[in-house]
Structure 1
Amino acid sequence: MATETSDPVRLPPGPRWPKLVQGAVVLALRYQSIAALGRKYGPSFTLSLPALGHAVVVSDPVLVKDLFSTSRELIGRPKQNLGKEVLGEGSIFNLEGEALQARRKILLPPFHGKSMRSYERITEEEVRREIATWPEGVEFETLEPMTRITLNTILRAIFGAEGPALDKLRVLIPAAVNFGSRLALAPSVVKKDLGSWSPGGRFVKFKREVDDIIFSLMSEARSDPKFAERSDVLSLLLQARYDNGEPLSDRHIADELLTQLVAGHETTSTQLSWAIERIRRHPSVLTRLTEEVDAGGGEYMQAVLAEVQRTRPVLTAALRRTKKRIRMGEWVIPEDTIVMASTQLAMAAENSFPDAAAFKPERFVGQAPNPFAWIPFGGGMMRCIGASFATMEMEVTLRTILGEFQIEPTNAPDERIHTRGVTVAPGRGGRIVVHRRTTGPAHTSDSVPAGEHTTA
């Protein structure tokens, strides 16, 4: 682990361009610029960015482990994050230390165990509803359909039954995410509410509209005669208690639900589009995956998704902030400095993944990856609480699509990486060509026909 020190500061080398130039390059070409800097400087280097100041980038698994496992007295959450200014002060993205630990203890149960089984059925229903209208034999983008699937799934998982309120959220949330993901990378002054004309003011309007809907759904849930029996996330959080018996405030529940809606669908839908982009360009992988789906297996599916996340991570870094001057490996990093665990560089390292540039799901068959080299969900106390939910969604979605359709391979060039604010997506939307299958097990015995729905 990293340790506190009074030794002289010693930062990794890095580019000497002016701060504004570095910021502009990293913002415009985040994925490509980080890859180039990794090739030039190795697994650790220092950036100087307008909004963050000095930022130390690390990707060696030893240093990543240090970053994720060092005590919260030495390393915490960045001051510049998606918390208070975008998602609200009650969001887990705005917590650290004991408050974060206590909140995680409340938030994790709804995304595990018995609840997860009901979410699997919801996911399959949403996939079947979406793919019922897919055209055959023509190429189309999957990013938008995947976004509908993941948004509808998380909405139903969080709030339960369908209704007019969820219809409103289906419109509001994508617009808020599209705007908020760009606002998140802006300086703090841009995020402030300076009136309806300002970017911060426009986002506050989005959040106020979402809040109104969420508070009305809270009231409906509490008045439900079967409230205690409900398994949707909203009802579970309304009934949850801290160790001292205190409930979450309604304000904090609303902020957490917005956080889960925002963080819980865009990243997963983007990763699914990358999965389509990758398997279409690797026919042997596509064939083996389809055969496994037909046989009812799942090991290779898990390996494929792990390799998609490794080679095309949608989030490129996990950020932390030093609270004290620390020694991390050979470096001495001053107090109040951003340290980035580069998801992108860590998972592209030859030392951790031989022949790293190649798409080889076989590397994960029967072998769990090093948790400090394979880090698509971050790590430590700030690891994504929805990791299991997202993995389930991806598995169910791909399994259902492959059961219904034959995906047409392609020898087209790889889709370029396109930055969309916080995430990076396939430049052409993860395009696909499908043909409805006439042989093979296209439906499971308990599948629900497209258009029919049950509540969680």
Structure 2
Amino acid sequence: MTPPTPLLGAGTLDRKTARTLPPGPRLPTLVQTVLFASHRKTFFPRLRERYGDVFTIRLVPSRRVVVVLSRPDHIREVFGTPPAIVHAGEGNAVLAPILGHHSLLLIDDDDHVRMRRQLMPAFNGQALRGYAGMIAQLARQEVGAWPVGQPFRLHERMRTLTLEVILQVVFGVTDSDRLAQLRPLVDRVVSVRPIIMLGGFYPRLLRLPPWRTYLEINRRLDAILYDEIAARRSQPNLAERNDVLSKLLAAGTWSDVELRDQLITLLLAGHETTATALAWAFHELARKPDQLRAGQQAADEGDDAYLEAMAKESMRLHPVVYQVGRRLTDTVELAGYRLPRGTTLMAAIGLVHGDEEHFPDVNEFRPERFLGDNPPAPGTWIPFGGGARRCIGAGFSLLEATEILRAALTQYDVRAVRPEPETAKPRNVTLVPSRGCELIATKR
């Protein structure tokens, strides 16, 4: 394994190089870090308005240099650069104590190619078609238990449902006793707070609470996962099972630790993100009767293309993950600047999705953008990233969203508790509805 690239920051940035970087705010690093962590949806647009399409911010640790990109052509160039030069794994290093060092999100170069190749059979078209029935059944069960005629927070119900999909469809656990063991542990793992992630930058913190407590919960979850992996390895009918873990075992050569790290990665990357995208979709439908009726008609008629377009437009209008990062392992020319080795590049998904140039009536919820003969231009819709590091679970996420929308819209009308839209607030690495997507569901 190649050693990590040193961060470009306080210890490695000289004054001459600093003067050649894109412009940016001169606020103290800690202030910029807090604004980025807590207010990025307003902080980034203000910086682009003041400094242009490319700007520099500095974040902890080590006053690291982060160059933010907001033009699709610049971002496409990054996604198209050889992965050996733009390391995504190093850009996600803060997640190592949570995901494990073999996680697809944390490895680069040949290790990433090998791991991704082994993961692909569990997420190809044939495999996705096999998951649809299980997801649909779980969706109908959860949606059927919604409170009728009284306010509730849909985001929490979506988190419960997407967690169940992870446990049963990804992990392949269906035994009721084992599910009862897993649910509280997994819920605490996926509810990781931003402060826990600091342990990835400052390993000494891991010996102290709350980091030590979080890692202990992780270890308890690991014990169950390793037990499931061992039990699955001993089963002769892996090819007949229809869950992700079984397909991974059948298709690749894995150590138990590698499998554990991929399962935790799928859990953290696929649970909160899909739940939040669905919450934002219902947030819009509850305020737009015409769109609600169009969605209900699509659900009744089996129009999967329209249901998927609703999920895509929700991800466009309300980016769940606002940015993705890469670390340069060599000096590159980009966006008119010579960016040194160690620079962190940040593709601002939210700025691209919120640009009127790419999406007319940019603040309107219009699923029709993703239908017909004139879809969004390449590189303007990037909720799953792009290039060799595009999210491997993108197809799974869209399938899950389609089945959950179908289950809900065939049964219910929904309306907002309050007419004013909910704002986005940070929750870990995602942006969620500030009031949890409060709505009222009534039977159709």
TM-score computed with the length of structure 2 as normaliser: 0.90
CA RMSD in angstroms, aligned pairs only: 2.1
Question: Does the alignment pair 1:142 with 2:137?
Answer: no
Code of the aligned partner of 2:211? G
Code of the aligned partner of 1:37? L
* Deviation at residue 105 of structure 1 after TM alignment: 1.1
* Deviation at residue 192 of structure 1 after TM alignment: 4.5
1:195-234 equivalent positions in 2, closer than 5 A: 197-234=208-245
Contact 2:55 2:69 in 1 (8 A): yes
In the alignment, what sits opposite 2:188? 175
- The 2-side partners of 1:179 and 1:378 are apart by 22
SS at structure 1 position matched to 2:67 = strand
- The 2-side partners of 1:23 and 1:287 are apart by 43
- The 1-side partners of 2:53 and 2:18 are apart by 22
1:106 counterpart (118, 128, 138): 118
- The 2-side partners of 1:347 and 1:262 are apart by 23
2:432 counterpart (425, 435, 452): 425
Q: Write out per-residue CA displacement over residues 193-229 of structure 1, whole angstroms, 9 at most, x where no aligned residue.
A: 21xx433322221221111101111121122242342
* Deviation at residue 336 of structure 1 after TM alignment: 0.3
More off after superposition, 280-289 vs 36-45: 36-45
Q: 1:327 to 1:14 in 2, by over 3 A?
A: same
- The 2-side partners of 1:58 and 1:191 are apart by 33
* Deviation at residue 110 of structure 1 after TM alignment: 0.7
In the alignment, what sits opposite 2:73? 62
Q: 1:370 to 1:182 in 2, by over 3 A?
A: farther
- The 2-side partners of 1:378 and 1:79 are apart by 13
Q: Write out per-residue CA displacement over residues 294-346 of structure 1, whole angstroms, 9 at most, x where no aligned residue.
A: 22213322222221111101101010011111100212111101100001001
In the alignment, what sits opposite 2:376? 369
Contact 2:417 2:440 in 1 (8 A): no
In the alignment, what sits opposite 1:188? 201
Question: Does the alignment pair 1:35 with 2:42?
Answer: no
In the alignment, what sits opposite 2:60? 50
Q: 1:116 to 1:72 in 2, by over 3 A?
A: closer
SS at structure 2 position matched to 1:415 = coil
Contact 2:36 2:43 in 1 (8 A): yes
1:292 counterpart (298, 305, 310): 298
Q: 1:101 to 1:34 in 2, by over 3 A?
A: same
- The 2-side partners of 1:404 and 1:204 are apart by 41
- The 2-side partners of 1:19 and 1:207 are apart by 31
In the alignment, what sits opposite 1:159? 171
SS at structure 2 position matched to 1:408 = strand
1:267 counterpart (261, 273, 281): 273
Q: 1:380 to 1:149 in 2, by over 3 A?
A: same
* Deviation at residue 137 of structure 1 after TM alignment: 1.6
* Deviation at residue 413 of structure 1 after TM alignment: 0.9
Q: 1:63 to 1:186 in 2, by over 3 A?
A: farther
Code of the aligned partner of 1:253? L
Q: Write out per-residue CA displacement over residues 125-158 of structure 1, whole angstroms, 9 at most, x where no aligned residue.
A: 1122212221222121011110111111121112
SS at structure 2 position matched to 1:29 = helix
Code of the aligned partner of 2:385? G
Q: 1:84 to 1:185 in 2, by over 3 A?
A: closer
- The 1-side partners of 2:203 and 2:376 are apart by 40
2:85 counterpart (74, 78, 92): 74
In the alignment, what sits opposite 1:96? 108
Contact 2:83 2:388 in 1 (8 A): no
Aligned residues: 425
- The 2-side partners of 1:390 and 1:82 are apart by 24
Question: Does the alignment pair 1:239 with 2:250?
Answer: yes
* Deviation at residue 36 of structure 1 after TM alignment: 2.1
- The 1-side partners of 2:189 and 2:350 are apart by 26
1:240-389 equivalent positions in 2, closer than 5 A: 240-241=251-252, 247-366=253-372, 367-389=374-396
In the alignment, what sits opposite 1:448? none
Code of the aligned partner of 1:86? I
- The 1-side partners of 2:279 and 2:263 are apart by 25
In the alignment, what sits opposite 1:18? 28
Contact 1:86 1:180 in 2 (8 A): no
- The 1-side partners of 2:277 and 2:254 are apart by 32
In the alignment, what sits opposite 1:444? none
In the alignment, what sits opposite 1:132? 144
Code of the aligned partner of 2:209? S
Percent of counterpart pairs with the same letter?
33
Code of the aligned partner of 2:245? L
Deviating above 6 A after TM superposition, structure 1's stretches of 4 or more consecutive aligned residues are none
Q: 1:315 to 1:191 in 2, by over 3 A?
A: farther
Contact 1:83 1:91 in 2 (8 A): no
- The 2-side partners of 1:181 and 1:237 are apart by 30
2:409 counterpart (391, 402, 411): 402
- The 2-side partners of 1:121 and 1:388 are apart by 15
TM-score computed with the length of structure 1 as normaliser: 0.88
Contact 2:424 2:433 in 1 (8 A): yes
- The 2-side partners of 1:282 and 1:354 are apart by 18
- The 1-side partners of 2:246 and 2:416 are apart by 44
Q: 1:371 to 1:108 in 2, by over 3 A?
A: farther
- The 1-side partners of 2:292 and 2:106 are apart by 41
Structure 2: give runs of 5+ residues left out of the alignment.
1-16
- The 2-side partners of 1:121 and 1:405 are apart by 21
- The 2-side partners of 1:248 and 1:17 are apart by 47
SS at structure 2 position matched to 1:433 = strand
Structure 1: give runs of 5+ residues left out of the alignment.
1-6, 242-246, 438-456
- The 2-side partners of 1:214 and 1:287 are apart by 43
